């Protein structure tokens, strides 16, 4: 009789629950005797959670090595004073006296789906080309592929063929993105496109924390709890905050993939680092230069506005903006206004409402709203703008990417500000002209002296249009 028949646990269930994870004891929901039995039979293996490396500490969950992100705690569990990691503490404290555990028992067999994709739409020929390149990368187990697709190219749809390919071969897939709102937006789209496949979404506020589905959708932060888990990892918006700024996140996504696996990076605005890798042919890539509706990207205009800093300091809109707003090419378009700070977004709102109502641009003051990251009504305000209940929306960079409004003009107040780097400016410009019914839109940079970032953003949009076959 095999020894595990009388065991108080179901190995198959446990392997699905714990394979590919890297967890603290308190994240493993097993009674102590079962847990000890799994450890002693080597189904679970422990490793140190914090190691000392060249006089430095390193957290083994998030990779943190920054000295000021470690602190000491007089621990009541082990009655010693030891270090813990402050970097990833939002996911539960990693202390030196506790171990991390990973599954070393039998690996789960994921389903081979014959026809997983229920999406009925059609890809354009450019999208199909990129989609087939992704399929090839997954089929040939290429380690990395960068998909560089302009804003509004229809990136999500391009992934469907690749995900289908992976599911047909019983692979486990994770679609990760730095932003929780993108996870929330993608989940219903994926569920619709793969209606027979188990899909789970993980982000800071998500209730379902099992993370046991074959097709996972997660913020890149959630990958901190994974190790050696996925055959295919797709990382959306690799250039977005905080992925490009926080070394823990590439550390985690790198660990979350299996030794033999494919990582697909998606971006509309690759950073210098990736462009350099492409130039040196160290990173294979495919470029998608055309929006799904086949029209070029709107090219931003720089508008010099004298006294802009003074105006904004007094919470007044730039003079040049008030001039332009009356002579817009299509006054029916909604207007999205980007400002560099939360404070300005709040302070400029009432003044702008009065001025624009007087100018006849606004029907009532309530048609103008402002939104920022710490706004409790953030989601409902964005929704109201999407449904055209709000005509003008003032926003910080939170709406720079991942959101689609069909017909808008875009203005940036103080485009020369540090928060608007090249990637941000290209993304912001990409909010205009996203609908086939209104594929153009005006994008204006109001500034008081052009910056390197503005010039480069415009150059890069022009060169993308050129590569897309549009002259000028």
Binding site for another protein (CB under 8 A): 68-69, 71-77, 84, 86, 89-90, 92-93, 95
d(CA 99, CA 228): 18
Instruction: Give the nearest distance from C-beta 85 to another protein in angstroms.
Output: 10
- Select 81 or 380, whichever has its Cβ closest to another protein: 81
- Select 133 or 244, whichever has its Cβ closest to another protein: 244
The two structure tokens encoding residue 471: 């002259």
Instruction: List C-alpha distances in Å: 321 to 212, 227, 304, 349, 435.
Output: 51, 51, 10, 14, 25
d(CA 448, CA 446): 7
Are the beta carbons of 200 and 183 closer than 8 angstroms?
no
The two structure tokens encoding residue 153: 């190219």
- Select 2 or 74, whichever has its Cβ closest to another protein: 74
- Select 76 or 120, whichever has its Cβ closest to another protein: 76
- Select 29 or 327, whichever has its Cβ closest to another protein: 29
- Select 247 or 307, whichever has its Cβ closest to another protein: 247
Q: Which residues in 99-118 are b (16+ Cβ under 10 Å) and which e?
A: bbbbbebeebebeebeebbe
- CA 454 to chain CA centroid, nearest Å: 23
- Select 248 or 407, whichever has its Cβ closest to another protein: 248
Instruction: Give the nearest distance from C-beta 76 to another protein in angstroms.
Output: 5
The two structure tokens encoding residue 386: 């999407």
The alpha carbon torsion through 326, 330, 331, 336 (nearest 10 deg) reads -90
Burial of 323 (0-12, 13-18, 19+ CB in 10 A): exposed
- Select 73 or 277, whichever has its Cβ closest to another protein: 73
Residues sharing a CB contact under 8 Å with residue 310, sequence separation 6 or more, in sequence order: none
d(CA 160, CA 94): 37
Are the beta carbons of 333 and 438 closer than 8 angstroms?
yes
- CA 27 to chain CA centroid, nearest Å: 25
d(CA 359, CA 13): 66
Residues sharing a CB contact under 8 Å with residue 363, sequence separation 6 or more, in sequence order: 357, 391
Are the beta carbons of 46 and 23 closer than 8 angstroms?
no
Instruction: Give the nearest distance from C-beta 70 to another protein in angstroms.
Output: 9
Q: Which residues in 291-314 are b (16+ Cβ under 10 Å) and which e?
A: bbbebbbbebebbebeebeebbee
Would residue 404 be called left, alpha or beta, if left means φ above 0 and alpha means ψ between -120 and 50 degrees?
Answer: beta
- Select 96 or 442, whichever has its Cβ closest to another protein: 96
For residue 351, give the nearest of 362, 335, 340 by alpha carbon: 362
Dihedral sign, CA of 225, 229, 235, 238? positive
- Select 49 or 451, whichever has its Cβ closest to another protein: 49
For residue 145, give the nearest of 60, 235, 222, 216 by alpha carbon: 235
Instruction: Give the nearest distance from C-beta 72 to another protein in angstroms.
Output: 8
- Select 72 or 139, whichever has its Cβ closest to another protein: 72
- Select 124 or 248, whichever has its Cβ closest to another protein: 248
């Amino acid at each position: 009789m095999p020894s595990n028949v009388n065991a108080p646990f179901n190995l198959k269930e446990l392997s699905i629950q714990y394979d590919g994870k890297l967890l603290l004891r308190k994240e493993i929901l097993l009674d102590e005797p079962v847990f000890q039995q799994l450890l002693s039979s080597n189904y679970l293996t422990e490793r140190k959670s914090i190691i000392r490396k060249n006089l430095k500490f390193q957290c083994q969950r998030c990779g943190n090595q920054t000295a000021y992100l470690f602190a000491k705690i007089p621990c009541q569990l082990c009655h010693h004073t030891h270090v813990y990691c402050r970097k990833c503490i939002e996911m539960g404290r990693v202390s030196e006296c506790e171990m991390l555990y990973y599954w070393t028992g039998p690996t789960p067999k994921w389903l081979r789906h014959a026809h997983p994709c229920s999406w009925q739409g059609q890809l354009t020929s450019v999208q199909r080309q990129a989609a087939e390149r992704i399929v090839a990368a997954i089929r040939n187990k290429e380690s990395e592929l960068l998909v560089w697709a302009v804003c509004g190219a229809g990136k999500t749809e391009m992934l469907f063929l690749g995900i289908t390919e992976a599911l047909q071969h019983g692979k486990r897939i994770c679609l990760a993105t730095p932003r929780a709102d993108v996870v929330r937006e993608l989940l219903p789209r994926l569920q619709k496109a793969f209606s027979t496949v188990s899909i789970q979404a993980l982000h800071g506020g998500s209730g379902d924390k099992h993370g046991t589905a074959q097709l996972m959708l997660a913020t890149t932060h959630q990958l901190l709890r994974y190790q050696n888990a996925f055959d295919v990892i797709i990382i959306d918006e690799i250039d977005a905050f905080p992925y490009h700024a926080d070394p823990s996140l590439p550390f985690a996504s790198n660990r979350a993939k299996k030794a033999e696996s494919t990582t697909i990076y998606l971006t509309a605005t690759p950073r210098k680092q990736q462009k350099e890798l492409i130039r040196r042919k160290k990173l294979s890539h495919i470029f998608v230069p055309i929006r799904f509706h086949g029209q070029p990207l709107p090219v931003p205009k720089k508008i010099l506005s004298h006294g802009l800093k003074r105006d904004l300091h007094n919470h007044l809109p730039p003079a040049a903006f008030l001039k332009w707003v009356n002579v817009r090419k299509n006054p029916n378009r909604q207007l999205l206004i980007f400002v560099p700070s939360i404070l300005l977004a709040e302070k400029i709102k009432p003044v702008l409402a009065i001025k624009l109502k007087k100018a006849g641009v606004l029907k009532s003051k309530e048609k103008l709203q402002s939104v920022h990251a710490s706004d409790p009504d953030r989601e409902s305000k964005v929704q109201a703008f999407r449904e055209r209940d709000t005509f003008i929306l003032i926003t910080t960079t939170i709406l720079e990417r991942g959101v689609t409004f069909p017909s808008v003009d875009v203005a940036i107040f103080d485009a020369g500000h540090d928060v608007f780097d090249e990637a941000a400016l290209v993304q912001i410009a990409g909010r205009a002209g996203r609908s086939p019914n209104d594929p153009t839109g005006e994008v204006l940079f109001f500034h008081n002296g052009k910056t390197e970032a503005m010039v480069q953003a415009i150059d890069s949009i022009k060169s993308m249009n050129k590569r897309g076959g549009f002259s000028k």
